[in-house]
Amino acid sequence: MVTGKVTVENRNGIHLRLSGELVKVASRFKSVVMIGRESELVNAKSMLGVAGLGAEFGAELLLSADGADEKEAFDAMVDLFRNKFFVEE
Amino acid sequence: MDRNFEEEIVLSGIPAAPGITFGEAFVVYADEMPISSEPIDPSKVKGEIERFEAALNRTREELADLHRALAAEMGEEHAKILDSHIMMLGDELMKEETLETVRNENVNAAYAFSRIIDRTLKAFDKMEDQYLRERSEDIRDVRKRVIRNYFGQKSEGLADIKRKAIIVAHNLTPSDTVGFKKKFVLGFVSDTGGSTSHAAIIARSLGIPAVVGLGDFSSRVRPFDRLIVDGLSGQVILHPKPETEELYRKARDRFHEMEKELLKIKDYPAVTLDGRTIELSGNIETADEVQEVIDHGARGIGLFRTEYFFITRGTLPGEEEQYRYYQNVIRRMAPDPVLFRTLDVGGDKLAAWVEDNVEANPFMGWRGIRFTLSRKDILRTQLRAMYRAAAHGRARIMFPMVSIVDEVRQALAICAEVREDLKRERYQFGEKVEIGIMIETPSAVAMADTLAREVDFFSIGSNDLIQYALAVDRGNSRISYLYNPLHPAILRLIDDTVRAAHKNNIWVGICGEMVADARVRGALLLIGLGLDEFSANAYLIPEIKKIIRSITYDETRALVKKALKKSTASEVAALLNAFIEDKRPELMEFIPRGPV
């Protein structure tokens, strides 16, 4: 299992559309990908779960990936956050 | 109680799409189904699971249809709203958890599903960020659809409509207004919304009358109640008396005659009898409205409210995206000009992504050019996109809500930098883009002679100018009587603005609702005041053109000279009424009015 932290750099936080992007990326991997605040991690392949996080601008989230392609999954997620979900704001 | 004997009720709302229509009410209810939490027989679990899966599939098909319909009818931009809904439906974990709950607790699937969604909604309620919190509406929407399909009910929305009727709703959302059979819809009436709400735009594009902003009307109307909707005056009559029906029938016939007459002159120039040409253009909010403007005979876009594109997205559009959007409009209008107004957020149109957006007094707050100058990143991106789009036709750029000269100088400096950058980066861009400002604050009028030396044109935003000059909020019913475009104070401000512009050899237009509000009287004054350009909602353009083609510039000038000396708005109105009745009685015929 790989774990680490990511920070929301998008000004409007992870709203619905970005939740969709996050789910799409996580779903590309076989590993179980979990994300959230310390007390409440949700499955990153669940649109409802991710949207329900209400992760606002600046929020620090825990990220974990567990499975055959955990390294790739983790890196892809970190990449997504670092690049502000590849959308211009 | 026999409906024929119910009392006639007249209500006033905001006229959102012109025309008069008669019919029975079709009330769109927003209620949700009651769901039982009673345990089910274990033998029924398998059936429940199948039923739930079928409901998900049916909802998925429904949303896909809706997406197609919305894209075809309103453009791709409008359809994007549904992408997230479709993704939520595809949430495998949500589905698994629902089915597990059904299996383990022997409850029906609608209940299990609802409970899971409720948990998510509770998480939303706790969110501190207002924008994120309000997205729970989308989740509620998806839940409603799934539950409805679980119960095997077809859409309870407009898609249901199978008889000719007037649609009455609390609020009409884009997903309500697609998928319905247009031929059955006689008109729209809604409790909420303004003249630029979704329902209003759709109604205008379908050519059916609409009145919005009627308060609690939808809760007072029952299905099949008789209604008259007057989209010209904004009145809705519930249980009309036979005499009232007769009056409105005449008014409707007059309106239809007039419409036919007006479309005959669609392709003629907007020129007065003594040869003064006035540039007549249309106001738009989205690229989807361009065709409507062209169809009504406008020669250009005189106000492109770009904020709509921003507000509907939830994130800031990037340069490329804006560029593609703007150049599409420019290409379609070429060689006629397109006047872009830079982002005008704040006040009544707060964008969700503006942080800390709660202001005690938004109309005097952080809006228009004040906002964009403090968020230069946003302004630069938008200007770059506009300048690049300008390479494909004719563009003009204007800044809203200017109150001091410094703002204009700063904005012009940024425009110059943007042009320099684009040149250095070897982009194609419009080199000869006229830059102007909106005149909508009394201070801008006071400084008009100075401002006129800085820019290429003025465009008067009459709604805000009236509001700021008379210190009146037109939405406040106790004082809204003060909001009168015929007030001599307003005429003097416009007169000063035009004089200052012409003295400095720049042109001056008007893009507010003054013509919509005051109809022929407003138009006569504006012609006489010497405005060079009028921009209005598409449906008003034929009417304005007819008025321009019916009078001489000289006589309107004489009229304005007298009007400027009057003391009150009613004196000005009386002067104009007398003129129309004596000199141009035929214009009375062409002016759509209710039967009042």
Residue with tokens 């931009």: B77
Q: How distant, in Å, are the alpha carbons of B37, B38, B96, B237, B408 from that of B105?
A: 10, 10, 14, 52, 67
CB contact under 8 A, B315 and A15: yes
Identify all chain A residues contacting B317, using CB atoms and an 8 Å cutoff.
88
Which residue is catalytic, options B85, B198, B296, B487? B198
Cβ atoms of B103 and A12 within 8 Å: the answer is: no
Identify all chain A residues contacting B357, using CB atoms and an 8 Å cutoff.
none
Chain centroid to CA B86: 27
The helix (run of H) or strand (run of E) holding residue B139 is helix B136-150
Q: Which residue of B has its CA nearest to A87?
A: B318
CB contact under 8 A, B318 and A48: no
pLDDT, tens digit, 9 for 90 and up, residues B511-554: 977 877 677 889 999 999 999 999 998 888 988 999 999 999 99
Pairing of β B235-238 and β B279-284: unpaired
Report the distance separating Cα B398 and Cα B386, nearest Å: 11
Identify all chain B residues contacting A36, using CB atoms and an 8 Å cutoff.
none
Report the distance separating Cα B66 and Cα B53, nearest Å: 20
Report the distance separating Cα B285 and Cα B340, nearest Å: 10
Pairing of β B279-284 and β B533-536: parallel
Query: Any chain A CB within 8 A of the CB of B325?
Result: no
Q: Which amino acid is at B455?
A: V
Q: How far apart are the first and last CA of chain B?
A: 30
Q: Report the alpha-carbon angle B180-B205-B174, nearest 5.
A: 45
ipTM for this prediction = 0.84
pLDDT, tens digit only, all 596 positions of chain B: 444 457 899 988 888 888 999 999 988 765 555 677 788 888 888 988 999 999 999 899 888 888 887 777 667 766 777 888 888 888 988 999 999 999 999 999 999 999 999 888 888 878 877 777 767 778 888 888 888 788 776 555 666 677 889 998 877 765 566 556 677 889 999 887 766 666 776 787 677 899 988 887 887 888 788 999 999 888 999 999 999 999 999 989 988 888 888 888 889 999 999 999 999 999 988 887 898 899 889 999 999 999 878 876 656 788 999 999 999 999 999 999 999 999 987 644 545 555 555 677 778 888 899 999 988 999 999 999 999 999 999 999 999 999 999 999 999 999 999 999 999 999 999 999 999 999 999 999 999 999 999 999 999 999 899 999 999 876 666 787 888 899 999 999 999 999 999 999 999 999 977 877 677 889 999 999 999 999 998 888 988 999 999 999 999 999 999 999 999 999 999 999 999 999 998 887 655 444 43
Q: How many CA atoms lie within 13 A of B364 on its CB side?
A: 10
The CATH architecture one would assign to domain A2-86 is 2-Layer Sandwich (3.30)
Q: DSSP for B237-262?
A: EES--HHHHHHHHHHHHHHHHHHHHH
B171 SS3 class: coil
pLDDT, tens digit, 9 for 90 and up, residues A3-13: 999 999 998 88
CB contact under 8 A, B124 and A52: yes
* Predicted structure pTM score: 0.64
Could you give the domains of chain B?
A: 3-29+156-256 (3.50.30.10), 42-150 (1.10.274.10), 265-590 (3.20.20.60)
Report the distance separating Cα B48 and Cα B79, nearest Å: 32
Q: Which amino acid is at B310?
A: F
Contacts of B43 by beta carbon, 8 Å cutoff, 6+ apart: none
Cβ atoms of B529 and B497 within 8 Å: the answer is: no
CB contact under 8 A, A13 and B90: no
Report the distance separating Cα B122 and Cα B117, nearest Å: 9
Lookup: tokens for A26: 């996580």
What is the DSSP-derived secondary structure letter of residue B546?
H
Q: How distant, in Å, are the alpha carbons of A34, B509, B577 from that of B269?
A: 65, 17, 26
